[in-house]
């Protein structure tokens, strides 16, 4: 009996091996299932990824499976002025289908859109893409991974022709210099920290680039606390120093890269003195970073939303790639790059066609050849396959303009997660019909016409790809509660009613996965060799995996070849430009947003779990002591979109010119009522990480609303804990101050 299968047999309880439903680390865990077949607890699992470790979200995740707030019957209303009533599945689906028909007949197929999510299993994200194009025949499909790591995806695709991290987590343990940019690893990917600390134990130099002193920045050898929105200036300057000091790997560049001369010429325009001024950091730090990174025998760079959530997110990521390439730190154990994905399936969620411009296998919807291949698999005419659609935020703008009049949302909560809440609300309110699939009534679902109750991750099987592009299998631990259906069933049933039933004859996830494997065969994102059986045996396989005897590809470019036809790294020139929301006398500071360790994305799930609510019941505004606020005092944060009042968390762990507000809560405590809906022109990712703001003294702190629940349910008392307290009962990560002394 393996040590982590303790007592399972004795108590009549079973342990179902699966993975955490939350972030892109995808920790292995067992769900404890009682004799009656109900999930009632969690037990850590000795999986390669996490080796028993779990963060508080993972430990508490099981509590949502049988949570009293679960939706158990379809909800419906004909207009937003009415209250929801519980209806049968037939009535809800009939109404949905008749509204789709009505809108598409009078305004064209593209007037109806679909928005998916990157917390869905890959099978379901594949279905979202296929459903939009084949059943709805609409070009308008996108997903909330658009808000997550598409900048990194875009940069990797441009430079390497493949969109994923270059190295497995375990390579971190082998590196001599670890550079982490814009990633609060301790709170957003806590279980990754063991790799960071492991590297440090072996003497690796740790460099953290972040405007805040996070838990990993605290112990970093070099913490570069740069001004938000200046990352590419910083990395250009580091590259400048690398070139100046003769630390480039010219042999590597000559053999493997194109565009180096242009990149080098651009870097020459960023001497440390200039970058120091732009970034607000000492010039010597830039020199230190360059030397540490370039001189290390093996160096790695990992980044996350901190550099990606920008109107120049793609460029920021490219500037990191330029640095790794110029120093020859790629494709070796302990040398390379990676992106930490926010959502569990942030990586896999975009690989199989739910992104506006992608078809399964990462194929481009603009490419004739790719279109032909997919139409062959789907059994439709090429003329029937719609062209590329628009991104998630652009779809909301189209809803505002009534170009998109109907919408189905699956597994997303844009009322909390999209920037510039006022615009989002206006867009959604303008739709004539809106259906939402979820297992809790999210803030967005509470505004819909139809809400369809679907399964949690513990009630179905399917795969996700974690931040290393390792495909892992989630297993079913319990039957869904009566009245609840799988997302797969709902999409297939809707397709049947729309007349495309023959293309959606999928009895279960496995059937979808087998089509997905075939649809990905021969592409860069090759899943063909991955089967459920192999996943169960191995604990995860990293794609590309072209055949059933292929071991997978944990590390890229070991032979020096990229996935471009010429096998080269295509370096791109990066020019820094200032963020989209300009500073002025009224708005002299930067507002930046991010996550807390206790909550996940829009908080629709975690804001309902007692322990997590207790740990971090509400957002706050983190400010430097120099502004004269006392801890817990109401501080109004004002941007050009609006203003909200938070308790101040006064700390030296943030730049004086920067304010931080975590974003998991709805209005009137939503950071995203303040953020700007400016997009990166290439990745269309919103600029969450920087906008101009000012802070003022205020009278009263805005109260956090309780999460919405279905009619007839009572708000679960545990989730109401201390929502009105001015400060969290335990201060988040020690940022709460008592004045010194």
Partner 1 sequence: MMGRTIFIDPGRCIGCQACVSACRECDSHRGKSMIHLDYTDEGHSVASLPTVCMHCEDPVAPCAEVCPADAILVTADGVVQQADTTRCIGCANCVNACPFGVPKIDLGAKLQMKCNLCYDRTAYGLAPMCATVCPTGALFYGTVEELQAERPGVQVADTFTFGRSEVRTGVAMVVPADRVRWPVPGGLPVVEINGKDVRR
- For 134, other C-beta atoms within 10 Å of its C-beta total 22
Check if the beta carbon of residue 403 is closer than 8 Å to that of residue 157. no
The reply to whether 735 sits near partner 1 by the rule CB under 8 A is: yes
- In the region spanning residues 59 to 88, those forming contacts with partner 1, defined by CB under 8 A, are 59-60
Q: Which two tokens stand for residue 678?
A: 């400016």
Nearer to ligand SF4, 190 or 529 (CB): 190
Q: Which does 150 bind (CB under 5 to 8 A by kind): partner 1, ligand SF4, none?
A: none
572 or 602, CB closer to ligand SF4?
Answer: 602
User: For ligand SF4, which is the closer residue by CB, 29 or 621?
Assistant: 29
523 part of the interface to partner 1, by CB under 8 A:
no
Which of residues 82 and 586 has its CB atom nearest to partner 1 in the complex?
Answer: 586
Residue 739 binds partner 1, judged by CB under 8 A:
yes
One-character DSSP codes across 12-51? T-EEEEEE-SSSTT--EEEEEE-TTS-EEEEEE---TTTT
Closest CB to ligand SF4 among residues 548, 730: 730
Q: Tell me: does residue 288 bind partner 1 (CB under 8 A).
A: yes
**Is residue 228 within 8 Å of 579, Cβ to Cβ?**
yes
Would you call 470 helix, strand, or coil by DSSP?
strand
Contact between 301 and partner 1 by CB under 8 A: the answer reads no
Centre a 10 Å sphere on the Cβ of residue 253 and count the other Cβ atoms it contains.
Answer: 21
Q: Which is nearer to ligand SF4, 226 or 471 (CB)?
A: 471
Positions in 608-667 near partner 1 (CB under 8 A): 611-612, 615, 624-626, 631, 650-653, 655-657
Taking residue 280's Cβ as centre, other Cβ atoms within 10 Å add up to 18
Size of the site for partner 1 (CB under 8 A): 79
Which of 222, 416, 445, 492 is close enough to bind partner 1 by CB under 8 A? 222
- Residue 377 binding partner 1, by CB under 8 A: no
> Residue 358: which of 382, 389, 379 has the closest Cα?
389
User: Three-class SS of residue 697?
Assistant: strand
HEC per residue, 612-649: HHHHCCCCCEEECHHHCCCCCCEEEEEECCEEEEEEEE
CB nearer partner 1, residue 167 or residue 184: 184
Closest separation between CB of residue 631 and partner 1, Å? 7
Give the C-alpha distances (Å, rounded to integers) separating 536 from 16, 120, 193, 475: 12, 19, 26, 9
Among 598, 648, 661, 685, interactor with partner 1 by CB under 8 A: 598
174 touches partner 1 (CB under 8 A): no
Q: What's the Rg (C-alpha) of the chain?
A: 25
Cβ-proximal residues to 634 (8 Å cutoff; 6+ apart), any chain:
645, 646, 647, 648, 697, 698, 699, 700, 701
Contact between 516 and 494 under an 8 Å Cβ cutoff? The reply is no
Least Å distance, CB 201 to ligand SF4, is 15
CB 165 within 8 Å of CB 193:
no
Q: Which is nearer to ligand SF4, 26 or 175 (CB)?
A: 26
Instruction: Please report how the helices 313-326 and 260-267 are oriented relative to each other, as an axis angle in degrees rounded to 10.
Output: 110
20 binds, among ligand SF4, partner 1, none (CB under 5 to 8 A by kind): ligand SF4
152 binds, among partner 1, ligand SF4, none (CB under 5 to 8 A by kind): none
Nearer residue to ligand SF4 within complex by CB, 578 or 731:
731
Catalog residues that contact ligand SF4 under the rule CB under 6 A: 20, 22-23, 25-27, 50, 54-55, 57-58, 189-191
**Alpha-carbon dihedral 572, 691, 140, 109, rounded to 10 degrees:** -140
Secondary structure element (H or E) that encloses residue 81, with its range: none
Query: From the CB of 256, what's the least distance to ligand SF4, in Å?
Result: 34
Q: Which is nearer to ligand SF4, 190 or 348 (CB)?
A: 190
Q: How far is the CB of 320 from ligand SF4 (least distance, A)?
A: 23
**Binder among 104, 390, 590, 643 for partner 1 (CB under 8 A):** 590
Which positions from 21 to 50 touch partner 1 by CB under 8 A, shown as an x/- string? Answer: --------------------xx-x-----x
């Amino acid at each position: 009996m393996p040590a982590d299968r303790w007592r399972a047999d004795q108590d009549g309880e079973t342990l179902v091996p699966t993975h955490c439903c939350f972030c892109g680390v995808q920790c292995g865990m067992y769900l404890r299932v009682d004799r009656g077949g109900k999930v009632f607890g969690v037990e850590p699992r000795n999986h390669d990824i996490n080796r028993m470790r779990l963060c508080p979200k993972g430990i508490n995740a099981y509590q949502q499976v049988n949570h009293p707030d679960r939706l158990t019957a379809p909800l419906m209303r004909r207009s937003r002025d009415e209250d929801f009533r519980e209806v049968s599945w037939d009535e809800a689906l009939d109404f949905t289908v008749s509204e789709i028909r009505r809108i598409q007949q009078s305004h064209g197929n593209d007037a109806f859109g679909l928005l998916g999510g990157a917390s869905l299993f890959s099978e379901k994200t594949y279905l979202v893409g296929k459903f939009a194009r084949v059943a709805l025949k609409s070009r308008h499909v996108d997903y909330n991974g658009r808000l997550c790591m598409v900048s990194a995806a875009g940069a990797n695709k441009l430079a390497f022709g493949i969109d994923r991290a270059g190295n497995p987590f375990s390579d971190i343990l082998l590196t001599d210099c670890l550079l982490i940019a814009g990633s609060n690893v301790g709170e957003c990917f806590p279980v990754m920290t063991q790799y960071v600390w492991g590297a440090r134990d072996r003497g690796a130099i740790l460099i953290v680039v972040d405007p805040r002193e996070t838990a990993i920045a605290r112990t970093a050898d070099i913490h570069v606390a740069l001004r938000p929105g200046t990352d590419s200036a910083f990395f250009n300057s580091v590259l400048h120093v690398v070139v100046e000091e003769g630390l480039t790997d010219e042999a590597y560049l000559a053999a493997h890269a194109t565009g180096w001369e242009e990149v080098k010429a651009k870097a020459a325009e960023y001497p440390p003195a200039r970058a120091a001024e732009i970034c607000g950091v000492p010039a010597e730090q830039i020199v230190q970073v360059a030397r540490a990174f370039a001189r290390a025998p093996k160096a790695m760079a990992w980044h996350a939303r901190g550099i990606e959530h920008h109107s120049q997110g793609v460029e920021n990521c490219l500037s990191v790639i330029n640095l790794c390439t110029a120093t020859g730190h790629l494709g070796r154990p302990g040398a390379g790059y990676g992106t930490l994905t926010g959502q569990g399936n942030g990586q896999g969620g975009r690989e199989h066609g739910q992104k506006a411009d992608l078809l399964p296998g990462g194929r481009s919807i603009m490419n004739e050849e790719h279109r032909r291949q997919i139409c062959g698999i789907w059994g439709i005419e090429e003329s029937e396959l719609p062209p590329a659609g628009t991104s998630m935020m652009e779809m909301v703008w189209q809803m505002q303009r009534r170009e998109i009049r109907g919408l189905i949302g699956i597994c997303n909560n844009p009322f909390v997660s999209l920037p510039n809440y006022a615009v989002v609300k206006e867009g959604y309110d303008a739709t004539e019909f809106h259906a939402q699939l979820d297992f809790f009534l999210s803030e967005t679902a509470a505004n819909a016409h139809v809400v369809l109750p679907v399964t949690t991750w513990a009630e179905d099987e399917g795969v996700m790809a974690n931040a290393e592009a390792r495909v892992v299998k989630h297993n079913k631990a319990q039957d869904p509660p009566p009245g609840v259906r799988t997302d797969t069933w709902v999409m297939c049933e809707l397709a049947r009613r729309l007349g495309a039933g023959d293309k959606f004859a999928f009895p279960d996830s496995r059937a979808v996965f087998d089509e997905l494997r075939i649809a990905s065969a021969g592409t860069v994102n090759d899943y063909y060799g991955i089967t459920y059986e192999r996943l169960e045996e191995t604990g995860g396989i990293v794609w590309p995996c072209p055949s059933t005897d292929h071991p997978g590809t944990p590390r890229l470019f070991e032979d020096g070849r990229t996935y471009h036809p010429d096998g080269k790294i295509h370096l791109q020139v990066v020019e820094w430009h200032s963020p989209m929301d300009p500073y002025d006398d009224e708005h002299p500071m930067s507002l930046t947003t991010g996550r807390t360790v206790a909550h996940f994305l829009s908080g629709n799930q975690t804001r309902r779990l007692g322990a997590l609510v207790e740990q971090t019941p509400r957002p706050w505004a983190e400010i430097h002591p120099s502004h004269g606020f006392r801890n817990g005092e109401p501080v109004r944060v004002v941007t050009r979109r609006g203003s909200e009042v938070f308790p101040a968390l006064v700390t030296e762990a943030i730049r004086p010119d920067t304010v931080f507000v975590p974003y998991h809560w709805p209005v009137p405590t939503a950071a995203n009522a303040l953020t700007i809906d400016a997009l990166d022109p290439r990745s269309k990712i919103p600029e969450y990480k920087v906008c101009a703001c000012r802070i003022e003294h205020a009278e009263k702190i805005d109260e956090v609303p309780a999460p919405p629940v279905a009619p007839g349910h009572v708000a679960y008392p545990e989730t109401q804990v201390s929502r009105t307290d001015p400060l969290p009962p335990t201060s988040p990560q020690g940022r709460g101050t008592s004045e010194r002394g």
